[in-house]
Amino acid sequence: MPPSHTSASFEELALPLLPALFSHAMWLCRNHAEAEDLVQETVSKALRGFDSFEPGSNFKAWIFRVLRNNFLTSRTGIAAARTVFLEDHPGVADSSDLRPTPEEHLIRLDNQAAVNEALDKLAAPFREILLLCDVEEMKYKDIAAVLDVPIGTVMSRIARARRALQQLLQPQFRESL
Amino acid sequence: MTEINLNYSQESGHLSLQVLNAFVDGEVWADAGTEIQKHLEDCHACTLRALSVTRLKAATARGAARFATSPEALARLSAQLRTQVAEEHSSAAKQIGRVVRFPARSASSVGAWSALAAAILLAFCFAAWQSFRQANRLTSELLDQHLATLAGSAEPQVISTDKHTVKPWFQGRIPFSFNLPEPDALPPDTMLRGADLVYVEGHPTALLLFTIHKHQVSMFVAQRNSEFAVTPRSTHAGFTLRSATTNELRLTAVSDVNPTELEALVQAVLKVQ
């Protein structure tokens, strides 16, 4: 291992990310024990493959990618990966309605329980990208690296994910009128 | 910020969803940002949509907080990470130190017996090395826990000098029980200050906090486990470790106090078990 790739530097980089990795694993697995196993396995694999981490690049994006790949090869992950997204296929135009809706104008998000419920109902890949962007505050290029998709796909998926989340919140909004 | 060609569009007189979201996410270059800002000043509808996206983004971040790691899970994961890193170190050192080479096939019986003897010796050394490595790992973890206590980054969960407050607090939190000496049975100028629940090698452990004069002492009380044992007396990075066991428990005290005084405290706690 070169000096910059010592296991000590791995510990220094990985230790502060454990809470974020666990939280993300929880969202993926929805089970405490499975999430903990997933993080443990991720740390183990990331340490073994630390040689492949490029110094100067984003370690957080790198280890999140390891986590995601681990999840996708797990039993739960294989089932979750079956979802196909139209925008991931070239040539399919963004057909979302660009007209703003009154709900979108005035949507109130002070009901956190409703937001949580909507997040739960959101399709897994939509939820995943919003978590990487809004919770982990990753840049689009890092999200692209984690998800192994082009930046254009990241942009369109984020837009669709937020649109879908807003639509899930609309019934709640109507009730509060 | 990424080098994204935003392909800024104003179809239907409004910003596209992608542009709007990228703007809220801070993913547009300054030029495009200025242009979008100018549009928002004139377009009430797009301003409201941008506001809506901003609120949604904040609400998503708040919503995700419900899956925060529990201190117990975090302790287990941290311990596991440190263990693996320590193993990686040891593995590298082992490769450097490997000098015994066995021939793939031995032609003579003398060679075979030599190989067998060497294998037994190697197995013995490996077992000893494993035991040493586990002890080292445990020592490092106990030192880390003690340093964290000294750093005062988190208050202990129990702050009390009363053993009748400290001991009952552990009921239901640890799968074993232990006793604490009366204050007058403690060595001179030694005082119980509080306690905390920690995980050492993934096992629930009572961390008792004492002071001897002005020195802080961390005493770890755990179930005795034949797999892991700390050397009874050792010094690491200027800290003294004193360990003792009963049939059921393992006590390990860590401090920078005089080793004799630390030993006296360990013996005082050991005596009441």
pLDDT digits (tens, 9 = 90+) for B18-71: 888 999 999 988 788 888 888 888 888 888 888 888 888 888 888 777 777 788
Q: What is the dihedral of CA B210, B216, B222, B228, to 10 degrees?
A: -150
Q: B72, exposed or middle or buried, with CB in 10 Å at 0-12, 13-18, 19+?
A: middle
* Cross-chain CB nearest to A47 (options B76, B85, B92): B85
Residue for token pair 């009748």: B164
> Which amino acid is residue A98, in one-letter code?
L
> Which amino acid is residue B183, in one-letter code?
P
**C-beta atoms surrounding B8 within 10 Å:** 17
Whether the predicted pLDDT of A141 surpasses 90: yes
Q: How confident is the model at residue A21 (pLDDT cuts 50, 70, 90)?
A: very high
B127 alpha-carbon distance from chain centroid = 26
Yes or no, beta carbons of A151 and B2 under 8 Å apart: yes
Interface check for B117 against chain A (CB to CB < 8 A): the answer is no
Determine the pLDDT at residue A31. 87
Q: B213, exposed or middle or buried, with CB in 10 Å at 0-12, 13-18, 19+?
A: exposed
Mean pLDDT of chain A: 79
- Please state the rounded mean pLDDT for residues A113-141: 90
| Residues of chain A contacting B62 with CB distance shorter than 8 Å | 112, 115
> Which amino acid is residue B96, in one-letter code?
I
H or E element at residue A142: helix A140-147
Give the DSSP per-residue string, B112-180: HHHHHHHHHHHHHHHHHHHHHHHHHHHHHHHHHHHHHHHHTSS--SEE-S-HHHHHHHTTTTSSS----
Ramachandran region, residue B205 (left: φ > 0; alpha: ψ -120 to 50; beta: rest): beta
Which of B60, B76, B89 is the mutation pick for testing A, counting most A CBs within 10 A?
B60
Distance (Å) from the C-alpha of residue B178 to the closest C-alpha of chain A? 30
Determine the pLDDT at residue B88. 77
Q: How confident is the model at residue A29 (pLDDT cuts 50, 70, 90)?
A: confident
Yes or no, beta carbons of B64 and A115 under 8 Å apart: no
Yes or no, beta carbons of B49 and A131 under 8 Å apart: no
pLDDT digits (tens, 9 = 90+) for B123-169: 544 454 444 445 566 777 787 778 777 765 557 788 889 999 999 99
Which of A29, A115, A134, A151 is the mutation pick for testing B, counting most B CBs within 10 A?
A134
- Please state the rounded mean pLDDT for residues A94-120: 61
Structure tokens of B208?
């008792």
**Confidence (pTM):** 0.54
Yes or no, beta carbons of A18 and B74 under 8 Å apart: yes
Determine the pLDDT at residue A36. 92
Mean pLDDT of chain B: 78
Within 76-105 of B, beta carbons closer than 8 Å to A belong to: 76-78, 80-82, 84-85, 88-89, 92
pLDDT digits (tens, 9 = 90+) for B192-241: 999 988 877 767 889 999 999 989 999 999 988 745 566 777 777 778 89
Compute the distance between CA of residue B206 and CA of residue B222 in angstroms, rounded to an integer. Answer: 6
Whether this model's ipTM surpasses 0.85 comes out as no
Q: How confident is the model at residue A63 (pLDDT cuts 50, 70, 90)?
A: very high
